[in-house]
């Protein structure tokens, strides 16, 4: 059984995923040819007896999401299952699992799809797709790849995580403060008034004050 792990950094995109797929699919003849000389950069994938042309899009863009779902379907039609690791969608590196479809079915039969989906799901399930039908347009890809310093996808996730962290810290401080303010000082074990005996006779001479303090302590029951 051949199972492969593929990691794609947020600075990479469609072409990086295709290169990884080409390197990992040793059991089936898969080749990739990149064309950087034309006005529109393309990658042609040869899989078994079919060819598929892709354009490069950076991770986090709509084009990347569309092409990745397309790749999932192409692989499924050729006997491979591609799944994304759920937890990696919250980091700056996407992690994928590539496994023969027949082996994937055995895994689902043994562990149940519900348990597996807690860890690995189709990439398309991570996307929010409108229910309204999109109009049909003639799509013309951009001439050159547009790059951004930080993909919008990870900017949004980072902001949510940042504010969630602030809320958790504030909540923890609130709970700690309530606990501390409710703690009563430990009792010294002395009856009331014993702490003031020393100050009560502090202005008298020692030979006069000591007998009086001793008498007062006995009357209060001080230890």
Domain range annotation of the chain: 4-127+143-149, 150-183, 190-223
What would the pLDDT profile of 12-30 be if each residue is shown by its tens digit?
888 888 888 777 655 554 6
Q: Which stretches does DSSP call E strand in the chain? A: 4-9, 30-35, 42-47, 50-55, 80-85, 93-100, 120-121
Cα of 126 vs its chain's centroid, Å: 13
8 Å CB contact between 79 and 102: yes
Q: Is the pTM of this model over 0.85?
A: no
Nearest to 152 by CA among 65, 66, 54: 65
What would the pLDDT profile of 42-58 be if each residue is shown by its tens digit?
888 776 677 888 888 99
Q: How far apart (Å, rounded) are the C-alpha atoms in residues 46 and 27?
A: 14
Residue given tokens 């799509």 in the structure block = 139
């Amino acid at each position: 059984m051949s199972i492969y792990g593929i990691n794609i950094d947020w600075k990479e995109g469609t072409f990086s995923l295709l290169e990884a797929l080409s390197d990992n699919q040793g059991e089936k003849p898969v080749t990739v040819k990149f064309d950087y000389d034309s006005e529109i950069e393309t990658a042609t994938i040869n899989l078994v007896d079919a060819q598929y042309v892709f354009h490069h899009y950076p991770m986090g863009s709509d084009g990347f999401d569309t092409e990745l779902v397309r790749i999932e379907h192409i692989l499924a039609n050729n006997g491979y299952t591609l799944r994304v690791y759920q937890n990696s969608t919250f980091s700056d590196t996407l992690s994928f699992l590539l496994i023969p479809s027949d082996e994937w079915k055995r895994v689902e039969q043994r562990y149940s799809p519900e348990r597996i989906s807690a860890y690995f799901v189709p990439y398309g399930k991570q996307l929010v797709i409108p229910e309204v039908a999109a109009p049909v347009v003639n799509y013309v890809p951009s001439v050159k790849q547009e790059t951004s310093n930080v993909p919008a996808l990870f900017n949004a996730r980072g902001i949510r995580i940042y504010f969630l962290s602030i809320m958790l810290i504030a909540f923890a401080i609130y709970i700690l403060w309530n606990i501390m303010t409710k703690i009563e000082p430990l009792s010294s074990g002395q009856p009331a008034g014993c702490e003031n005996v020393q100050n009560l006779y502090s202005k008298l001479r020692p030979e006069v004050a000591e007998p009086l303090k001793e008498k007062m302590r006995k009357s209060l029951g001080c230890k």
